[in-house]
Amino acid sequence: MRNVLIAGGAGFIGSNLTLEIQRRWPRARVTVVDDFRSASFQNLLGFRGDVVAKPCHEFRSKTNFDAVFHLASSTDTTVHDERLMIHDNVEGFRAVLGLKADRIVYASSAAIYGIGAERMSEESPPRPANVYAFSKTILDNLGRGRAVGLRYFNVYGPREAHKKAAASMIWQLW
């Protein structure tokens, strides 16, 4: 990879990906787009690329990217402002889909399956139980055939401390 964009690259998952891409492809031009509302500059200590401090829906570029990773998202499931959650998550992804990119990978969520006792699979119909899950369902609808969505389940690890009460239960109990 020569030219990579990581939306949400200063957040928990994004910063881990950013630094790993930098390690594996040291000659790659890596650009992070992040508005830093739920991220931390400390997650990018040692990063040698470019950082654009703005929301994804405001980012424009004529660059052709080898890969775009869209990890920017409002992830706080206690947010009840539906307009804000849907706008931030969906419009940011819509902007990413408008970029020139050979590959686009985005963060979906297991939350789209909702609460239930049945086994989850990609064929299971979405049953979002909150606005966050609904916004991720819309991303899956928009990304179908255009991008690869990863439905994360209980992610935890380094660089999530800045999330405080919103950090994973595993991190909080550690």
In this structure, the number of other CB atoms found within 10 A of the CB of residue 154 comes to 8
The token pair at 124 is 């299971």
- Catalytic center residues: 132, 163
Residue 167 is predicted with a pLDDT of 55
Residue 116 is predicted with a pLDDT of 74
Q: Are 86 and 133 in contact (CB under 8 A)?
A: no
Q: How far apart are CA 140 and CA 90, in angstroms?
A: 10
Residue 153 is predicted with a pLDDT of 74
Q: How far is CA 38 from the centre of its chain?
A: 11
SS3 category, 2: coil
Residues 6+ apart with CB under 8 A from 54: 33, 35
Report the predicted TM-score, pTM, of the whole model to 2 decimal places.
Answer: 0.86
157: left (phi over 0), alpha (psi -120 to 50) or beta: left
Residue 172 is predicted with a pLDDT of 58
Statement: 3-173 belongs to CATH 1.10.10.10: no
Helix (H), strand (E) at residue 100: strand 100-101
- Going by C-alpha positions, the residue among 16, 30, 13 that lies closest to residue 68 is 30
As averages over each run of 10 residues, the pLDDT of the chain (174 residues) reads: 95 93 97 92 95 95 96 82 93 96 95 80 85 94 95 68 56 56
